[in-house]
Amino acid sequence: MLARLRALPAADRAAAAYARAREICELDVATNRAIGEHGLPLFQAAFEKAGGKRRLNVLTHCNAGWLATVDWGTALAPIYRAREAGISEERAAKEIILAPQPTKEFVTVEQIAAMALYLAGDAAAQINGASFAIDGGGTAR
């Protein structure tokens, strides 16, 4: 981008930079909407399997929404599409997330807090640069 801007007359650089930024934003929105389109059938299947009578519970992590992307987000895109399609988000996500998980239970706030307290304490002083999966065995399968 810098090389492209430097090749332009100085008076044209700001407009060119803004135009490219708009293109990047539009591409990001389209990419994340596509994630939603691909995730929607999973939500629909889970919702239909359960008879469409319960709400869907959704658990996401990391930069699931607008913090890391423009508009739709990534992990939340299927949830937005499910809402547009009239499906209760909480139920589909719960069934999709828990279906392959060995324990079939969501991690509790207390379990996450216990890990955070451990990691903040002296006993974990030599733990550096590690990731811990608190997911009921979902990543171990």
Chain segment 78-127, per-residue pLDDT in tens: 777 777 888 776 766 676 667 777 888 878 888 888 888 888 777 887 88
* Whether residue 71 sits in one domain with residue 46: yes
Query: Domain containing 135: what range?
Result: 102-141
* Whether residue 51 sits in one domain with residue 110: no
What pLDDT, in 10s, does the model give residues 28-76? 889 888 988 898 888 888 788 878 776 565 545 555 555 566 666 666 7
- Which residue type, as a one-letter code, is found at position 1? M
* Whether residue 93 sits in one domain with residue 71: yes
* Whether residue 133 sits in one domain with residue 84: no
Distance CA 80, CA 78 (A): 5
Strand, coil or helix: 61: coil
Is the pTM value of this prediction over 0.85?
no
Distance CA 138, CA 122 (A): 29
